[in-house]
Amino acid sequence: MEKGTSMLLEVENITTCYGNAEALRDVSLNVEEGEIVALLGANGAGKSTTLLTVSGIVKPRKGKIFFRGREISRERPSEIVKIGLAQCPEGRALFADMTVKDNLMLGAFLRKNKQEILYDLERVYGYFPRLRERVKQIAGSMSGGEQQMLAIGRALMSRPALLMMDEPSLGLSPLLVEELFTIIKDINKEGISVLLVEQNVVASLEVAHRGYVIETGRVKFSGIRQELINNDEIRKAYLGGVELA
């Protein structure tokens, strides 16, 4: 089923269940070309389930998902990656006993054009110079920050139009968090849209154009960055008195 739209991603009233337990109810969101959209909320709110549903790993019980106008609600995850949507999962999910380069090349396993793959490999090394220095290192022996860089780099190797990132700052030092969010902005400037799941609301709202706040499986708030910053309930619950411009 095709749908005429200028949106990159449209999620329409999805309900997702694990067995009889409802994890998401009537969740709707969208991402336009060139946007960074933050999906915010507490642990267990349904943020990760939203990404898993969009990427096809979990199927929605109700609702529809469109990517570039094409319905993908029932597509296989590999097909969804092929058409330009990649996920950098929580916990990184690297192949710990393989090298940095092998992990990166696995991100391009659905692609055929070797010249383009090598071009994108160099682009990833441009974002993350430390990965170039460690091409032969076993991924499991790297620091947490380096592993996160590798997980993002692997996702970028599929050449996505939309990169979904699940808690990329989890477990990183404040300095690395700052570096990571600068890289997210750089990736976005290169034309890649980002759907960002984060508990670090302050850092997320510093880079996002728009955002959604999800609570107990439902979208409670949505709006452009400034609307979320100015919302008293969000400020009280998530910003802890931090002032954002």
The pLDDT score that the predictor gives to residue 196 is: 96
> Is there a domain that residue 30 lies in?
yes
Query: What would the mean pLDDT of 5-18 be, rounded to a whole number?
Result: 90
- The per-residue pLDDT for range 57-73, each reduced to its tens digit, is 999 999 999 999 999 99
Residue 1 has pLDDT above 70, yes or no: no
Residue 90 maps to a domain? no
Residue 4 counted as domain residue: yes
Does 112 share its domain with 218?
A: no
187 and 149 together in one domain: no
> How many CA atoms within 13 Å lie on the side-chain side of 9?
29
Q: Which residue has the tokens 């991924």?
A: 139
Q: What is the pLDDT of residues 24-66, one digit of tens each?
A: 999 999 999 999 999 998 888 999 999 999 999 999 999 999 9
Range of the domain at 100: 95-159
Q: Judge if 12 and 100 occupy the same domain.
A: no
For residues 2 and 80, membership in a common domain is answered with yes
* pLDDT over threshold 70, residue 245: no
69 DSSP 8-state letter: T
DSSP category for residue 99? B
Domain boundary among 159, 193, 211: 159
**Does residue 2 register a pLDDT over 60?**
no
Per-residue buried b or exposed e for 106-117, using 16+ beta carbons within 10 Å of the residue's own CB: ebbeebeeeeeb
Give the residues across from 62 on adjacent strands.
15
What pLDDT, on a 0 to 100 scale, did the predictor assign at position 120? 94
Say if residue 65 is in the same domain as residue 166.
yes
Residues 127 and 212 in one domain: no
Residue 141 CA, chain-centre distance (Å), reads 24
Structure tokens at 222: 């949505």
Question: Within this chain, do residues 171 and 233 fall inside the same structural domain, yes or no?
Answer: yes
pLDDT at 99 over 80: yes
Q: For residue 5, is pLDDT > 60?
A: no
pLDDT band at 96 (very low <50, low <70, confident <90, very high): confident
Backbone angles phi, psi at 134, to 5 degrees: -120, 30
Whether 186 maps to a domain, the answer reads: yes
Q: Compare 226 and 3 and report the one with higher pLDDT.
A: 226
Query: What DSSP element (H or E) covers 48?
Result: helix 47-54
Eight-state DSSP code of residue 128: -
Instruction: Please indicate, yes or no, whether residues 135 and 110 belong to a single structural domain of this protein.
Output: yes
Give the count of domains, the chain. 2
Handedness of CA 100, 103, 107, 113 (dihedral sign): positive
- Pairwise CA distance, residues 14 & 111, whole Å: 30
Please identify, among 159, 186, 207, the residue that sits at the C-terminal boundary of a domain.
Answer: 159
Reported as a pLDDT band with limits 50, 70 and 90, residue 136 is: very high
Q: Could you give the CA distance from residue 166 to residue 112 in angstroms, rounded to a whole number?
A: 27
Shared-domain flag, residues 19 and 67: yes
Domain boundary among 159, 176, 208: 159
Query: Has residue 140 been placed in a domain?
Result: yes
Query: Residues 151, 165: one domain?
Result: no
pLDDT at 202 over 90: no
* Dist. CA 107–CA 128, nearest whole Å: 16
CA distance 84 to 160: 4
- In a domain, residue 100? The reply is yes
Q: How confident is the model at residue 111 (pLDDT cuts 50, 70, 90)?
A: confident
Instruction: Looking at the structure, tell me whether residues 74 and 19 fall in a common domain.
Output: yes
What pLDDT is attached to residue 95? Answer: 82
Contact status, residue 131 vs residue 100, Cβ threshold 8 Å? yes
Least confident piece of the model among 15-29, 88-102, 228-242: 228-242
Do 73 and 169 reside in the same domain of the chain?
A: yes
Domain assignment present for 241: yes
- We report the CATH number of the domain holding residue 72 as 3.40.50.300
Residue 89 maps to a domain: no
